[in-house]
Amino acid sequence: MLSLKPLALAGASLILLSACTVGPAYEKPNVTAAALPATYKALDGWKVATPGDLIDRGDWWTLLGDPQLDALIARVNVSNQTIAAAEAGYRQARALVREQRASLFPTIDLSGSATRSGGSGSTSGAGGSSSGQRYQAGIGASWEPDLWGRIRQGINGAKASEQASAADLAGARLSMQGELAVNYLGLRQADAEIALVTKTVEGYQRSLQITQNRYAAAIAPKSDVLQATTQLAGAQADLESLRQTRATYENAIATLVGQPASGFRLAADPAWSARVPEIPAGVPSTLLERRPDIAAAERRVAAANADIGVVRAAFFPTLGLSANGAASGSSLGELFKASANTWSLGLTAAQTLFDAGARKARVEQARASYDAAVADYRQTALAAFEDVENQLTAAQVLERRHALLKTSSDAADQTEQMMLNQYKAGQVAYTDVVTAQASALSARRALLTAAVARQTTAVALIQALGGGWKASA
């Protein structure tokens, strides 16, 4: 009788050996050799919002207070093809983890066959034929114990890659949401400018009528009529250009929400106004944990570290266990007879003795890949600090600039009205009116552009912070 004690001891020994791991332990690399700053330099004197004003990453766009934008971003999350591709990549990474984990378990195969053979010959001096049939069934199992942690390191690497893919998905979603928000704000700016220039065109038409009346009454020269005509035509040309710009933004939004541009329409919103969210202060440690691109870069460092362990395991011998059982007979019933059964157990061992340095070269490749991943991680983090600093500075500058442009626009509006009244009274030349009107229009458009720029900067800052500014998101 076969004793099971040696097999049990061998199995226990293999399990103990399987706890060994030859790869390096993973330690999250420092972003930079220098100490991380406690705050952003652009935040000196910045007003910090109260915690009640903070938002989670999931609905950061609601700060802009636009229900139409909310509805469009909901469509982006469902129908955008860039997000769909990133989601498919994430599912692929998850499946790879399951594939790697399956290598820890034995592989079992079942086989079966049925054959029939025949031939011709002579029997009892007369021609005849003979034939036979044979049935076979077999089951086999094989297992390679993970003695040196090669499979477990592969699983760790696959898990890290899965988490990087999850961060890539979050990054793609955040990027598409931000891109749609910027395009939507551009479209609404075009709407506001169209309304502004349309109103200006109406004013220029009235001015043209005034000059024509004064010219007909021999009060004003024809040059006044020509100047008014030139100014009106220029404003009307600007209006056509703005309509083209709006159409471009509308088509871009259609693509982002996964719809053909030809069938997409977005109605103008005459009541739209630029709403700028209040931006609180953030800290670098929060940034590093929330940005999807930084998270993905760090997880790829972990995957590269696991790859080192995978290739280092090649320096150690591999063991394999196999077991096979088979049965054969001339009928199906004979397959279940003990006399028809055979079995075998096997143990294999392999060790590469000489490969001209190929394994060592593969380890060096893995280490170089790890170093490159660390450098990429650090560069991504440093670029994130730069991005946030730039957006914070831009937000502060644009806030002050917007206030100055508001003062400038109000003064230009008053000057325009004064010049027009003085022209009607014959106190100034029409050239002064044209200059005042052009200055007023330019100031209004600059004020509108600055207001929208504050919104787009807020969106850019939200993206730079990883989708908002709440640490627990």
Question: Structural domains in the chain?
Answer: 30-105+148-319+360-464 (1.20.1600.10)
For residues 339 and 37, give the distance between their C-alpha atoms in angstroms, rounded to a whole number.
79
pLDDT band of residue 469 (cuts 50, 70, 90) is low
Mean pLDDT within 289-297: 84
Query: Which of the residue ranges 8-22, 199-213, 283-297 has the most confident prediction, judged by mean pLDDT?
Result: 199-213
pLDDT band of residue 5 (cuts 50, 70, 90) is very low
For residues 473 and 409, give the distance between their C-alpha atoms in angstroms, rounded to a whole number.
40
For residues 456 and 185, give the distance between their C-alpha atoms in angstroms, rounded to a whole number.
7
Lowest mean pLDDT among 57-61, 191-195, 399-403, 444-448: 57-61
pLDDT band of residue 402 (cuts 50, 70, 90) is very high
pLDDT band of residue 22 (cuts 50, 70, 90) is low
Q: Which residue has the tokens 């030139």?
A: 230
The first and second tokens of residue 137, run together, are 């069934």
pLDDT band of residue 2 (cuts 50, 70, 90) is very low
For residues 21 and 442, give the distance between their C-alpha atoms in angstroms, rounded to a whole number.
70
The first and second tokens of residue 307, run together, are 């790859």
Residue 124 predicted with pLDDT over 70: no
- As a whole number of angstroms, the longest Cα–Cα distance in the chain is 142
pLDDT band of residue 52 (cuts 50, 70, 90) is very low
Q: Is the distance from CB of 143 to CB of 106 less than 8 angstroms?
A: yes
Closest CA to 321 of 352, 339, 346: 346
Q: Helix or strand or coil: residue 119?
A: strand
For residues 358 and 426, give the distance between their C-alpha atoms in angstroms, rounded to a whole number.
95
Residue 39 has a pLDDT of 61
pLDDT band of residue 45 (cuts 50, 70, 90) is very low
Share of the chain above pLDDT 70, in %: 81
Mean pLDDT within 193-209: 92
The first and second tokens of residue 63, run together, are 């700060």
The first and second tokens of residue 174, run together, are 């955040």
Determine the distance from the C-alpha atom of residue 331 to the mean position of all C-alpha atoms in its chain, rounded to a whole number: 62
Mean pLDDT within 275-285: 65
Residue 446 predicted with pLDDT over 90: yes
Residue 467 predicted with pLDDT over 80: no
For residues 93 and 106, give the distance between their C-alpha atoms in angstroms, rounded to a whole number.
23
Mean pLDDT within 315-338: 76
pLDDT band of residue 289 (cuts 50, 70, 90) is low
Residue 241 has a pLDDT of 96
Q: CB under 8 Å to 97, separation ≥6 — which residues?
A: 155, 158, 159, 162
The first and second tokens of residue 50, run together, are 């109260």
For residues 100 and 153, give the distance between their C-alpha atoms in angstroms, rounded to a whole number.
10
> What is the per-residue DSSP string for 401-441?
HHHHHHHHHHHHHHHHHHHHHHHHTTSS-HHHHHHHHHHHH
Lowest mean pLDDT among 225-229, 317-321, 416-420, 421-425: 317-321
Asked whether the CA dihedral 402, 407, 412, 417 is positive or negative, the reply is positive
Higher-pLDDT residue of 112, 422: 422
Q: What is the mean pLDDT of the chain?
A: 82
Helices (H) and strands (E) in the chain, counts: 9, 4
For residue 377, the tally of other CB atoms under 10 A from its CB is 25
Residue 120 predicted with pLDDT over 90: no
Say what the pTM is: 0.79
Higher-pLDDT residue of 62, 36: 62
Burial per residue of 122-140, b for 16 or more beta-carbon CB atoms within 10 angstroms, e otherwise: eeeeeeeeeeeeebebbee
Q: Which residue has the tokens 């991504």?
A: 380
Residue 456 has a pLDDT of 92
Lowest mean pLDDT among 76-90, 277-291, 295-309: 277-291
Residue 1 has a pLDDT of 36
Residue 400 has a pLDDT of 93
The first and second tokens of residue 414, run together, are 């008053």
Residue 350 has a pLDDT of 82
Rama region for 164: left / alpha / beta (φ>0; ψ in -120 to 50; rest)? alpha
Residue 17 predicted with pLDDT over 70: no
pLDDT in tens, 334-364: 666 666 678 788 888 888 888 888 889 988 9
Residue 50 predicted with pLDDT over 50: no
Mean pLDDT within 218-236: 93
Residue 472 predicted with pLDDT over 70: no
Classify burial at 350, counting beta carbons within 10 Å of its beta carbon; exposed 0-12, middle 13-18, buried 19 or more.
Answer: exposed
Residue 55 predicted with pLDDT over 90: no
